[in-house]
Structure 1
């Protein structure tokens, strides 16, 4: 139950062949100056044991990115302190931008995506992460995302 993006908001396809850029399913580097990891914003679904998740990208400092990369395949990495980062995924279903929301990236066991914890602000996404969402809200999100995907595919056809 969730949706994911393939690249940070600032990624441009022209970076794909550049020697100082990298985009994998888990990590991204742009111009050897900007560093990103992919993680999950998990939102509890009220009235059940389900979790809704957004697969998002977070920018990290060079030092935090290097540390996370060094420990990528290391057992016990989940005992690391969280890394501070900035959300670099736009989730257009929210009325206010999700770009540059403050986050903490919690490393989890090898093979699991990091957990992205939003700073507890009044942004609707942060509120949903703290308080949970109903199954009806999950349906609303699914409908909104499907409309956005349809609109995007129509734009590329014309």
Structure 2
């Protein structure tokens, strides 16, 4: 329901009819559009390989919205080792894959709404049932994104993020 109430933007003063509850990055921060034609590079909506040496999966950082039943989410990319990426690909369409042990990864999405870089935060990538993107759990540090994932955010914070992303960011709404 929260997404139906809209919000008045603090940047432009306009009323936006919908409050976005999720944003997503189209590719890892290290992806270059020039890679698109290379034989050893691949980018899909869920997986990425760069130069046959760097491996990424897309997942969700979910943040509870305090005082509601809603979740705010970031669609982000995490790097995986070659072995873990191969295992994730092998299990991609396998029912029961959510029983996999979480994979270690590094966050490779820059979220500019935070004062400190989000690149290279340590993560655990939890596989979910077929058809669902993995859950990305951040290491419990004092980074503002990790704190928000642990403690939640207010609806005012969701509005603040929306104003920033809509006017200054490049996040796509999911």
Sort the TM-score into its range (normalised by shorter chain): over 0.9
- State the shift of 1:149 in Å: 4.1
Do 2:65 and 2:155's aligned partners in 1 also have CA atoms closer than 8 Å? yes
Which digits, 9 at most, give the CA deviation of each residue in 1:111-134, with x for residues without a partner? 000000000000000000000000
CA RMSD of aligned residues (A): 0.8
* 1:4-153 equivalent positions in 2, closer than 5 A: 4-149=24-169
Distance in 2, matches of 1:148 and 1:62, equals 35
TM-score normalised by structure 1 residue count: 0.94
Distance in 2, matches of 1:93 and 1:71, equals 34
Q: Which residue of 1 aligns with 2:6?
A: none
Dislocated runs of 4+, deviation >6 Å: none
Query: Is 1:2 the counterpart of 2:22 in the alignment?
Result: yes
Distance in 1, matches of 2:91 and 2:117, equals 32
TM-score normalised by structure 2 residue count: 0.85
Structure 2 unaligned spans of 5+? 1-20
- State the shift of 1:148 in Å: 1.3
Structure 1 unaligned spans of 5+? 151-158
